[in-house]
Each structure stands twice: as C-alpha cells, then as structure tokens.
Amino acid sequence: MGAGIESDPRFYRGVFREIALLTVGLLEGGVAYRARQLALDRLLHLLTRGQARDELTRDHTPEDLALACDSLVFGTIAHWLYDDASESLQARMRRASDVFLGSVAVALPDAFEGPVPVIAAEPKRSSA
C-alpha cells in the first residue's frame, strides 16, 4: 500500500481528501462510501477471526480494534501526504503497524502451522 501511494502522491492526496470527507460524514452513499464500508467490514472480520484464533488479545472489542487500526493507517498516510514525506511511507507504515500489533498481538510459536487466513468477509446471505 505504501509503495503504491509513494508512486503517485499527488493522485493519492485527492483520494485521501475524499476519504476524509467520508470519514467525517460529509459524503454518504455512492461507490466510495460503499468501498470504505467494505474495507472496514473486512478489517473487522479479520480482527474478529484473529481473536477467535487467539492471535489477538481480547482486551478490546473487534470493533474498537478496527477503528483504531483504520485511524492509525489513515493518519499515518495523511501525515505523510500532507505534512512530511521526508522518509519512505513504507517504513513509516511498518513502524505504525508495529505500534498497533505490538499492543494487540498474542505471542505465537515461532512456526505457525495454521491455514493461510482469508481476509475477505464471507458474503452476506439474504434471509429470504
């Protein structure tokens, strides 16, 4: 993600302006709104699954973890785009992920043998 944003910061400044408008509720509906909701739903699914597998602490709700992670990612990128691009965004995002995961990840054995996680949320089924 960081490499893609670094490749065209001018374009991504526009993208993140739109995300900021969505975040504060100034844009509702439309493709961008649905894409953001889908991304948050997938993040929530991934964090819920991590807790169920005892990979993440249960000290916080998955919803709180998802919002904290989303805020950290968005804030890290926004600061890089608008305030200080003096270093690689990839390096900055790695450090931010270490801050987040360092506080919520449960120590796992050196060799994790579990199946590769599926990040996409399972499709919602209609009740009809």
The stretches of the chain forming alpha helices (DSSP H) are 2-7, 9-23, 30-52, 62-82, 89-104
Cα–Cα distance measured from residue 56 to residue 59, given in angstroms and rounded to the nearest whole number:
9
Cβ proximity of 13 and 81 under 8 Å:
yes
pLDDT in tens, 51-93: 999 999 999 999 999 999 989 998 999 999 999 889 999 999 9
Whether the model clears a pTM of 0.75, i.e. scores above it, the answer is: no
Structure tokens of 63?
Answer: 């919803």
Based on the number of CB atoms within 10 Å of its own CB, is 47 exposed (0-12), middle (13-18) or buried (19 or more)?
Answer: buried
